[in-house]
Chain A
């Protein structure tokens, strides 16, 4: 089946630094990818929709200058958390759509900002 790979799985960074998370669709082309954030034991929160070759669409309340999304190819989208702070510590998950009906999820990236 289709696989979406997210990297890294874990990252610890210092406050004020930036962290890049990659989301790759391994065996299909994804014109649309979604980025989510999940705090422990809470629901997934959609952050933004990433479309290949165009600017991402951010959900209300998500700072686009802080969470930079680049969907440069049909198999790769990246989320960069800029100037990270401890409150950005969370679990970030991507998903990639194959066609209109199938969504495949990455295993998530656990970000800890110290």
Chain B
């Protein structure tokens, strides 16, 4: 079956760095997305990786290793507003989105 795993919850301190991991087993691969979702709001796009390596966008970076079925989202210089759920999703060979359950990130002062 198809599966996306990510931690349920993580806690970090304001100003610190946090890495949210995502492992996947899917039938084919056409890219991996990371989304941020604040409570009660629609998710917003953070990143898309289809090739191995690190993509950096300001305070957020996303890494992909296709051979390992692994990705991470790295958040630097954490701010209180970064408290949210972070969703990992993979596009499979049929271009269907397989979603992780999301990681709730709690930022403490």
CB pair A105–B45 under 8 Å, yes or no, is: no
Q: In which size bucket is the chain A interface? A: 20 to 34
Q: Tell whether B1 is near chain A: CB-to-CB under 8 Å.
A: no
CB of A1 within 8 A of chain B? yes
- How many chain B residues have a CB neighbour from A under 8 Å? 24
- Complex CA distance for A86 and B96, rounded to whole angstroms: 20
B92 to chain A, nearest CB (A): 9
Q: A103 to B43, Cβ gap below 8 A?
A: yes
Are the CB atoms of A46 and B101 closer together than 8 Å? Answer: no
* Interface residue from B31, B42, B97, B99 paired with A34 (Cβ < 8 Å): B42
Instruction: List 6 A-B residue pairs with CB atoms under 8 Å apart, sorted by A's residue number.
Output: A1-B101, A49-B42, A93-B97, A101-B85, A107-B98, A110-B96
Q: Which residues of A contact B (CB under 8 A)?
A: 1, 9-10, 34, 36, 38, 40-44, 46, 49, 91, 93, 95, 97, 100-101, 103-105, 107-108, 110
Residues of B within 8 A of A (CB): 30-31, 33, 35, 37, 39-40, 42-43, 45, 48, 50, 85, 87, 89, 91, 94-99, 101-102
